[in-house]
């Protein structure tokens, strides 16, 4: 069984940064972590030259990259996205859909199923995230209004029973039937998350009781404080901040949320309750200019400028073009968050949220050898997935 020895670097462990230690990989697992140098017979030695060795990043909300979108509904597209984002440190991802026709959603679900037995050099897939179509129309953002609607039990029960790859579903919890929808998902082992919503605090408290424990791209597509008849009402944003049971994901590209909001979320929730996500669409890792959100055949035209995708009339962002390394740099360099906490938000927290933290998400003996090497400027030097070098 192949052995790898990483040495002469800064190893980011759950307990902190270990300098001058060694990390040993045996096959596809982390076999040993030492506080000092050791000799391993027959091991391939990898000199980190002072760089950081950290756990692979886990993106639990991503739509595309490399000019492909999961809504294109092709196996080749899935693989292209996985290989594109692996170059930037994503070792596990949760492919995400958009509000669409039933046919397009089914094509995407079928394509996911078609990838499960294929070997490739890209990010691992950790189940599928359905985003929509059960959203508040006024908070739809760049979700296509043609497909936005209330929960339909006949529809979602048939989909869930047909595709076991679904691990998460985002919806607006104040809609008629949304609480019953959340309870149904929870019974089936699927994580309900709230998104594109006009929910007030009272709505979120009810939603929490129905299983909605994750805020989808916090701040984006949800209300903060509103006033009605001179009285103030807390919205989904404030509810996420004050309810300890709720985890939050944030698009940490520095555009969707500026530094003060990134700092506020971190200060309020803490690294163990916040996951960094790209929410990347097909234009990630592509030049700026015209692109398309959603499928090529039925998506929305967008323009990529200022490091983000926008609707052509500039009335709304239309997904990000971020990669996970950019998220990390944004949190450290722009928001001033400690590197160890930023890595927690990019790795172990998302792993816990989607229930894979016993297998990956941190550098610990027995876990998958999903590793990222970054230099002091937080640029990716190499990436390993299950002990195999892919970058």
Give the model's pLDDT for residue 41: 85
Query: Is 188 part of any domain?
Result: yes
Give the model's pLDDT for residue 116: 81
What is the CA 292 to chain-centroid distance, rounded? Answer: 20
Query: Is 369 part of any domain?
Result: no
Q: Do residues 93 and 235 both lie within one domain?
A: yes
Give the model's pLDDT for residue 298: 87
Q: Going residue by residue through the chain (391 aa), what tens digit of pLDDT does each one get?
A: 889 999 999 999 999 999 989 999 999 999 999 999 898 889 999 999 999 999 999 999 999 999 999 999 999 999 999 999 999 999 999 999 999 999 999 999 999 999 987 878 899 999 999 999 999 999 998 888 999 999 999 999 999 999 999 999 999 999 999 999 999 999 999 999 999 999 999 999 999 999 999 999 999 999 999 999 999 999 999 999 999 999 999 999 999 999 999 999 999 999 999 999 999 999 999 999 999 999 998 889 999 999 999 999 998 898 899 999 999 999 999 999 999 999 999 999 999 999 999 999 999 999 999 999 999 999 999 999 999 999 9
Q: Do residues 279 and 224 both lie within one domain?
A: yes
Query: Is 327 part of any domain?
Result: yes
Q: Do residues 71 and 49 both lie within one domain?
A: no
Query: Is 33 part of any domain?
Result: yes
Q: For residue 37, what are the domain limits?
A: 3-53+375-389
Give the model's pLDDT for residue 178: 98
- Do residues 127 and 168 lie in contact, with contact meaning Cβ atoms separated by under 8 Å? yes
How many folded domains does the chain comprise?
2
CATH classification of the domain holding 31? 2.30.40.10
Q: Do residues 30 and 104 both lie within one domain?
A: no
User: How far is it, in rounded angstroms, from Cα 132 to Cα 171?
Assistant: 6
CATH classification of the domain holding 118? 3.20.20.140
Q: Do residues 62 and 47 both lie within one domain?
A: no
User: How far is it, in rounded angstroms, from Cα 369 to Cα 43?
Assistant: 15
Neighbouring C-beta atoms of residue 230, cutoff 10 Å = 5
Query: Is 276 part of any domain?
Result: yes
Burial of 36 (0-12, 13-18, 19+ CB in 10 A): exposed
Q: Do residues 321 and 298 both lie within one domain?
A: yes
Which runs of consecutive H residues, i.e. helices, occur in the chain? 75-86, 102-115, 153-162, 178-187, 201-209, 236-242, 259-269, 324-329, 339-346, 348-353
Give the model's pLDDT for residue 234: 96
Residues 6+ apart with CB under 8 A from 117: none
Q: Do residues 202 and 159 both lie within one domain?
A: yes
Burial of 233 (0-12, 13-18, 19+ CB in 10 A): middle
Neighbouring C-beta atoms of residue 20, cutoff 10 Å = 13
User: How far is it, in rounded angstroms, from Cα 123 to Cα 103?
Assistant: 26
Give the model's pLDDT for residue 141: 86
Query: Is 368 part of any domain?
Result: no
Give the model's pLDDT for residue 310: 93
Query: Is 135 part of any domain?
Result: yes
């Amino acid at each position: 069984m192949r052995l790898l020895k990483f040495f002469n670097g800064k190893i980011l462990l759950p307990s902190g940064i270990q300098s001058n230690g060694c990390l040993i990989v045996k096959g596809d697992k982390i076999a040993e972590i030492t506080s000092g140098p050791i000799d391993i017979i027959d091991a391939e030695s990898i000199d980190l030259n002072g760089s950081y060795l950290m756990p692979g990043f886990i993106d639990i909300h991503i739509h595309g990259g490399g000019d492909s979108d999961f809504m294109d509904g092709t196996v080749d597209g899935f693989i292209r996205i996985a290989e594109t984002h692996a170059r930037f440190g994503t070792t596990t991802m949760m492919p995400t859909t958009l509000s669409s026709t039933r046919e397009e959603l089914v094509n995407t679900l079928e394509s996911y199923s078609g990838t499960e037995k294929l070997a490739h050099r890209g990010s691992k897939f950790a189940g599928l995230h359905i985003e929509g179509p059960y959203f508040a129309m006024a908070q739809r953002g760049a979700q296509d209004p043609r497909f936005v609607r209330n929960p339909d039990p006949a529809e979602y029960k048939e989909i869930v029973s047909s595709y076991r790859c679904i691990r998460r579903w985002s919806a607006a919890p104040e809609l008629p039937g949304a609480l019953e929808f959340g309870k149904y998902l929870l019974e089936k082992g699927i994580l309900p998350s709230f998104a594109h919503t006009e929910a007030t605090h009272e709505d979120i408290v009810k939603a929490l009781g129905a299983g909605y424990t994750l805020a989808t791209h916090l701040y984006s597509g949800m209300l903060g404080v509103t006033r009605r008849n001179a009285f103030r009402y807390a919205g989904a944003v404030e509810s996420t901040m004050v309810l300890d049971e709720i985890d939050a994901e944030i698009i940490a590209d520095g555009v969707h949320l500026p530094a003060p909001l990134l700092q506020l979320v971190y200060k309020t929730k803490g690294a163990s309750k916040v996951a960094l996500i790209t929410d990347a669409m097909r234009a990630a890792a592509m030049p700026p200019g015209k692109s398309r959100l959603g499928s090529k055949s039925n998506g929305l035209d967008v323009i990529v400028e200022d490091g983000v995708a926008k609707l052509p009339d500039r009335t709304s962002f239309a997904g990000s073009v971020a990669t996970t390394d950019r998220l990390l740099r944004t949190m450290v360099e722009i928001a001033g968050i400690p590197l160890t906490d930023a890595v927690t938000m990019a790795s172990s927290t998302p792993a816990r949220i989607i229930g894979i933290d016993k297998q990956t998400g941190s550098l610990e003996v027995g876990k998958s050898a999903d590793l990222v090497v970054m230099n002091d400027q937080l640029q990716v030097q190499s990436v390993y997935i299950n002990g195999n070098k892919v970058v």
